Amino acid sequence: MNKKIPQHIAIIMDGNGRWAKNNSKSRIEGHRAGVNSVKKIIQKSLDLGIKKLTLYTFSNDNWKRPKIEVDSLLKLFSNTIKSEFSNLKDNGVKVSFVGDLSKFSNYINDLSHNLKNETSNNVLLDLNIALGYSGRQEIIYATKKISEMVMNKKLEVNDINEEIFTENLYDCNHSAPDLLIRSGGEHRISDFLLWQIAYSEIYVSEKFWPDFDENDFSEAIKDFSCRERRFGKISEQL
């Protein structure tokens, strides 16, 4: 694979509501249109040989939205899992979930658990779905786990380092994103992967998520390929 192609891409899929408003549609219609973009980007990732794709699907703060919208989102999510189950499994996509799933219904937890188990042996693309996710809460989660280890004398304070901290995040098996894409034109992180994106390249698309397609995805990757990733060094050291 071309070394300039990012191995891990994370996406903040923003703009469904604004797309719906601009097209005189309901917000849930905007979210449904957004699902079509998800399907396109998953397929394009497979075509390009991207190894990991992390999608900001439902943030912890999204629980604050009107109940009717939250209920519609959760119904759309569960229906999408059911309708795409076979496609994901047959196309070599390994699905995992990251976030606090405790607030979700048993039904959604069972669907998610089943999809994760049934795709666990797939190797073409790791699809990481951020659900009930908060970067701040993830850091607190890791801090509590490490504190318990120290209290139980399983870890010395002086032994705490970046590697130990990363190992105690929600999912320690996923590498840091090479590229973070945000649709919808907003220039903020929105509590997404705060620990992991320390050196991620960031690309903002002005397009709302339902309008973001394979060509826009390729354009983001092309932009990434032109960047020099120095990780604190100078060009002459690379």
The string of pLDDT tens digits covering residues 38-63 is 999 999 999 999 999 999 999 999 99
Residue 182 lies in a domain: yes
Q: How confident is the model at residue 148 (pLDDT cuts 50, 70, 90)?
A: very high
In this structure, of 9-13, 28-32, 189-193, 223-227, the range with the lowest mean pLDDT score is 223-227
Residue 80 lies in a domain: yes
Residue 143 lies in a domain: no
Residue from 2, 14, 22, 216 carrying the catalytic annotation: 14
Residue 163 lies in a domain: no
pLDDT of res. 236: 59
Total residues belonging to the chain: 238
Amino acid at site 94: K
User: Residue 211 sits in which domain range?
Assistant: 8-134+175-228
For the question of residue 159 being annotated catalytic, the response is no
Q: The domain that contains 92 carries what CATH number?
A: 3.40.1180.10
Per the listing, tokens 């699907």 go with 57
Q: What is the mean pLDDT of residues 158-162?
A: 96
Residue 140 lies in a domain: no
CB 42 within 8 A of CB 92: no
pLDDT of res. 1: 39
Residue 193 lies in a domain: yes
Residue 83 lies in a domain: yes
pLDDT of res. 2: 47
Q: How far apart are CA 125 and CA 53, in angstroms?
A: 7
Global pTM exceeds 0.85: yes
Mean pLDDT over each residue of the chain, to the nearest integer:
94
CB 12 within 8 A of CB 183: yes
Q: How far apart are CA 11 and CA 56, in angstroms?
A: 6
Residue from 2, 36, 62, 117 carrying the catalytic annotation: 62
Q: How far apart are CA 32 and CA 79, in angstroms?
A: 11
CB 212 within 8 A of CB 19: no
Q: How many domains does the chain have?
A: 1
pLDDT of res. 171: 81
For the question of residue 110 being annotated catalytic, the response is no
Question: Do the bridges between strand 201-204 and strand 179-182 make them parallel or antiparallel, or are there none, so unpaired?
Answer: parallel
Residue 145 lies in a domain: no
